[in-house]
Amino acid sequence: MKKHNRSIESYFESIGAGASDVGLSKEDIKKAFLHKLFYHLGRVPALTTPNDLYTAMALTIRDRALRKFVRSIEEFTQQDARGVAYLSAEYLPGPHLGNNLLNLHIVEETKEALAELDLDLDEILDQEGEPGLGNGGLGRLASCFMDSLATLGIPSIGYGIRYEFGIFKQEIKEGWQMETTDKWLHSGNPWEIVRPEISYVVKFGGRTEHRTNGQNRYEVDWLPDSEIKGTAYDTPILGYQSNGIIMRLWKAEAVESFDFSVYNIGDYYRAVEKKLRSENITKVLYPNDENLSGKELRLKQQYFFVSCSLQDMIRLHTMQGRKLKKFHEKFAIQLNDTHPSIAVAELMRLLVDEHEIEWDEAWDITRQTFAYTNHTLLPEALEKWTVSLLGRILPRHLEIIYEINSRFLEELRDKGYSGDQIARMSLIDEQGEPSVRMAHLATVGSFKVNGVSELHSRLLKSQVLNDFADLWPGKFTNVTNGVAHRRFVAVSNPGLANLISEKIGFGWLTNLSSLSELEKFAKDEKFQQRWRDVKLQNKTALTRFIEEQTGVKVDPDMLFDVQVKRIHEYKRQHLMVLHIIDLYLRIKDGKTENIAPSTFIFAGKAAPGYFLAKLIIRLITAVADLVNDDEEVNKLIKVVFLPNFNVKQAQRVYPAADLSEQISMAGKEASGTGNMKFALNGALTIGTLDGANVEIREEVGDENFFLFGQTTEEIQQTRREGYRPYQYYEENEKIKRVLDFLVSGELANGDKDLFKPLYHNLLQQDPYQLLKDFDSYCAKKEEVFKVWNDQEEWTKKSILNVARMGKFSSDRSIQDYCDRIWQVKPVKIQE
């Protein structure tokens, strides 16, 4: 086929696209929807299933998204713009349909078009599942960034893995978490487009051969023992009234489906087996929110998607006649945590071994291409791969890592670094079994390193990567996380969105700072009443959902006190439970004064192998059973554990919360983004000075934030002085009573042993210092109750919280990445 130079617009004109073909009027949408139903799905109205209706609507909207997308690509290409590749092993996009309708500004048109066909948009929206291709915050951040990249018109692409099974589905059976597989593709996925022609071969294992060629050039051949093909699956991501970008996910397949050299029947089956083994690589997401060392398949997943992505970028770069040596001028590659950090070695391999660029020049290109985002300070979560495993799976990369390391350590020696310092900074950890420190590889191989909140970036520089920050102070920076406020307010809380827009217009959708115009209404009684009405409506809707999911009836007039996020000791869900037990005991004693009637809502998944986290879920369900069944107690408090927290559920929960629990031990939560989503929906926060809580409090004002607990410095001081949790048990009557209750048999039908592991953990180590922070937390809860009882005061604080949250849009985060790291400018399409 010959190349075409006509503009896309002229093609659009010739097919009427824009006018009616992918038009946005009610009539256009209705026509297109029926068209999809008949000619794409072959369905007659009398026999359609809810999934058919959803699929037809999704395809209708996808056409409209693609129209934007192809225009964006044309513009990016014509302007030869510098772009960004975001490499992330996880994405949590959530349902696409509602968000795309908002972005195309056709919610009302679609609703009406469907109503004329006697169909209900909300029912169709409810039909959509979600791609659970991530564990929690990190994956959701990647998806928020896709939304903002598209909205800001940044030439960009998000690369990742198309897991066939995403994060497990959580069910609660007899109070325990049970995991079942997430078959997110079983009803089809109308949003993705498979690109059989965009595929790359990825090698694994084997050995290397070194030699000097005829021109005296040192060369290395990698002779792998297996090869796997990665095929691209594209999902268009729309921005708000703006461009479209793609999320390109790789699926693993056998290089050849059948080995034609084999005729024998037995070997035929062996050949098919080999195909199945290849496909295993992208079969399942590891359901751990932390790092898993030693899992061979996990390393293969990381390398697989990184290699496909880099090969794809090199193709895109050289396709239009550009020189590979200018790769870094065309692309900035952002590493979302260390999961894709093997990319540093892979780009070196591609440049040096496959494209014959000399080492020094290749290293310059590499170091000007990558930037690395660190997401954790937990030492146990810093990724490492043993030298023996890495050498077996990626023999050439291990050699490259050693070469990078020896040159780097030489540099340090020249600068006069001590042996101790050099051992600390080496890419290889020689203590115990030698292993590769992926955070060091990412840091050495990048031009910028960032943390995800002010506090986290400061701790990163002063602790985890301290030596590197001293060596390269200019390399370190901060980009505070943000969230896609269009999804998490405009789509999921239309009541609030309408009220806001009615007062201050629609500017906040693309410029969140303009929410500050709401400040002047904070004390307006009429406005306050409408603000409360919206919250009550959202709580009523959640009340129905809770009953459907758990059978528990709750009262929307109660204070909804919510902690939803992954279950982890450092996040301290059990601190909130200890307080609930304290309230229970008080109520049983008849001391009910000052307790504001409250419903405590929890949700979140525990890693399947994390025993204490699963026991915390069991504790929540045990306390729920006790409290909810007790007539004396359940008038004042109720407890709910909502199973299977995911983006779709999150979109129901955040808008209905009055109080947001952000109570991690200071110094442990890198940023948090749940904290932002709650506050943007008008919840007040009870929290520690951890992650982005610090900045949220700075913005909303100390008087509008319920602060408690030790600071990071105080936590460390407590530890240095020798923290003895048992002392708190002995000296604090309340703590003793609550902890003894755990093992009293009053929970879980008389089982005294069930919660002993938690009891002992708290008394003996209490690694997250719950007992030390307990009194301060309880005292702050008293203040929460007091303010809640003054609804005008509460509402004023709620309005001020929303009005002052302008900083926490992911639009602002992406703008910061552009300015501080990528040096990339927007290319907006003109319509």
User: Applying CB under 6 A, which of residues 96, 140, 349, 530 lies at the interface with ligand PLP?
Assistant: 140
Determine, following the binding rule CB under 6 A, whether residue 298 of this chain makes contact with ligand PLP: no
Catalytic residue among 566, 618, 781, 797: 566
571 catalytic? Reply is yes
Residue-wise burial string across 503-515, b where 16 or more C-beta atoms lie within 10 A, e elsewhere? ebeeebbbebebb
User: Applying CB under 6 A, which of residues 23, 83, 131, 137 lies at the interface with ligand PLP?
Assistant: 137
Minimum distance from CB of 310 to ligand PLP (Å)?
A: 29
Contact yes or no for 708/780 (Cβ under 8 A): yes
Minimum distance from CB of 290 to ligand PLP (Å)?
A: 13
Minimum distance from CB of 140 to ligand PLP (Å)?
A: 4
Catalytic residue among 36, 229, 330, 375: 375
User: What pairing do the DSSP bridges indicate for beta strands 476-478 and 446-451?
Assistant: parallel
What part of residues 598-657 is at the interface with ligand PLP (CB under 6 A)? 645-647, 650
Contact yes or no for 655/492 (Cβ under 8 A): yes
- Please identify, using beta-carbon distances, which residue of 366 and 563 lies nearer to ligand PLP: 563
685 catalytic? Reply is no
Minimum distance from CB of 32 to ligand PLP (Å)?
A: 31
Half-sphere exposure of residue 537: CA atoms within 13 angstroms, side-chain side = 13
Identify the residue whose tokens are 């390391």. Answer: 405
Closest by Cα among 345, 401, 389 to 370: 345
Minimum distance from CB of 61 to ligand PLP (Å)?
A: 22
Contact yes or no for 428/379 (Cβ under 8 A): no
Two structure tokens written together for 692: 């982005």
What part of residues 178-237 is at the interface with ligand PLP (CB under 6 A)? none
566 catalytic? Reply is yes
Helix axis angle for 756-764 and 733-742, nearest 10°, is 150
Give the separation between CA 421 and CA 272, rounded to whole angstroms: 52
- Please identify, using beta-carbon distances, which residue of 202 and 665 lies nearer to ligand PLP: 665
Interface map 647-686 toward ligand PLP (x if CB under 6 A): x--x---------------------xxx--x---------
Two structure tokens written together for 481: 């996380």
Determine, following the binding rule CB under 6 A, whether residue 535 of this chain makes contact with ligand PLP: no
Interface map 540-569 toward ligand PLP (x if CB under 6 A): -------------------------xx---
Catalytic residue among 36, 82, 485, 565: 565
DSSP letter at 603? Answer: E
3-state secondary structure of 590: coil
Contact yes or no for 672/666 (Cβ under 8 A): no
Checking phi first, is residue 16 left (phi over 0); if not, alpha (psi -120 to 50) or beta?
left
Closest by Cα among 560, 783, 546 to 660: 560
487 catalytic? Reply is no
Contact yes or no for 734/582 (Cβ under 8 A): yes
Minimum distance from CB of 707 to ligand PLP (Å)?
A: 17
3-state secondary structure of 408: helix
812 catalytic? Reply is no
- Please identify, using beta-carbon distances, which residue of 370 and 777 lies nearer to ligand PLP: 777
Q: Which amino acid is at 119?
A: L
Minimum distance from CB of 689 to ligand PLP (Å)?
A: 16
Interface map 78-117 toward ligand PLP (x if CB under 6 A): --------------x-------------------------
Contact yes or no for 475/447 (Cβ under 8 A): yes
Q: How many residues bind ligand PLP (CB under 6 A)?
A: 14
475 catalytic? Reply is no
Minimum distance from CB of 336 to ligand PLP (Å)?
A: 14
Contact yes or no for 679/660 (Cβ under 8 A): yes
Determine, following the binding rule CB under 6 A, whether residue 136 of this chain makes contact with ligand PLP: yes
What part of residues 739-768 is at the interface with ligand PLP (CB under 6 A)? none
Contact yes or no for 228/201 (Cβ under 8 A): yes
Instruction: Point out the residue whose Cβ comes nearest to ligand PLP.
Output: 674
Give the separation between CA 726 and CA 765, rounded to whole angstroms: 9
User: What pairing do the DSSP bridges indicate for beta strands 244-254 and 598-603?
Assistant: unpaired
Catalytic residue among 151, 673, 712, 795: 673
Minimum distance from CB of 566 to ligand PLP (Å)?
A: 6
- Please identify, using beta-carbon distances, which residue of 102 and 352 lies nearer to ligand PLP: 102
Which residues are annotated as catalytic?
Answer: 375, 565-566, 571, 673, 677
Interface contacts to ligand PLP, rule CB under 6 A: 92, 136-137, 140, 565-566, 645-647, 650, 672-674, 677
